[in-house]
Structure 1
Amino acid sequence: MPKLYNATTGAELGEITDEQLEFLQDQLEEESAEDQDYYINQETLEYFAEQGADRALIDLLQAALAGRAEIDIRWD
């Protein structure tokens, strides 16, 4: 299963499903074929909810924000 990490600190945020990863890849811009990091903020999470994102994915990303305005995440 893919895992999400805080791109700045390297701290593991949690595991996601292949379907959740596919959703992230479909919704967010990748700068190259090897790009595995994304910028997330509250507006991003609201957009995800509008697009029908899995609630568990939104909850995981909300927890990753932990009161911050934004976070860069990466997957592996």
Structure 2
Amino acid sequence: MINLYDTHKQHIGAITEAQLQFLQDSMEEESLEDQDYYLEPATLDYLEARGADGELLALLRGALGEHDGLTVRWNRSE
């Protein structure tokens, strides 16, 4: 299971391996160890256009809420 957290270390929700792979394939990573993504409304529109899973989009849209942008960090739990 992969857990998503915001910049305040608040748990946003859990995503699947496939959803994480989609994010990794769709988003820019600064290094191989990079585990965070900056999201803004246009980013979510981009992910939707690329065919993002509806549950993933709903989770990210809920986390973004009325914010202009949000950094989301993922962590794999065992």
User: Could you say which TM-score interval applies, normalised by the shorter chain?
Assistant: over 0.9
Amino acid at match of 2:3: K
Which whole-Å CA distance do the structure 1 matches of 2:19 and 2:52 have between them? 8
Matches within 5 A, 1:5-16: 5-6=5-6, 8-16=7-15
Q: Within the alignment, does 1:3 sit opposite 2:11 as a pair?
A: no
Counterpart in the other structure of 1:72: 71
Amino acid at match of 1:19: A
Match of 1:33, SS state, is coil
Q: How many correspondences in the alignment? A: 75
Which whole-Å CA distance do the structure 2 matches of 1:25 and 1:4 have between them? 13
Match of 1:67, SS state, is coil
Dislocated runs of 4+, deviation >6 Å: none
Amino acid at match of 1:73: V
Calculate the TM-score normalised by the size of structure 1: 0.96
Calculate the TM-score normalised by the size of structure 2: 0.94
Amino acid at match of 1:69: D
Which whole-Å CA distance do the structure 1 matches of 2:73 and 2:59 have between them? 13
Amino acid at match of 2:36: D
C-alpha RMSD of matched pairs (Å): 0.5
Q: What stretches of structure 1 of length at least 5 have no aligned partner? A: none
Q: What stretches of structure 2 of length at least 5 have no aligned partner? A: none
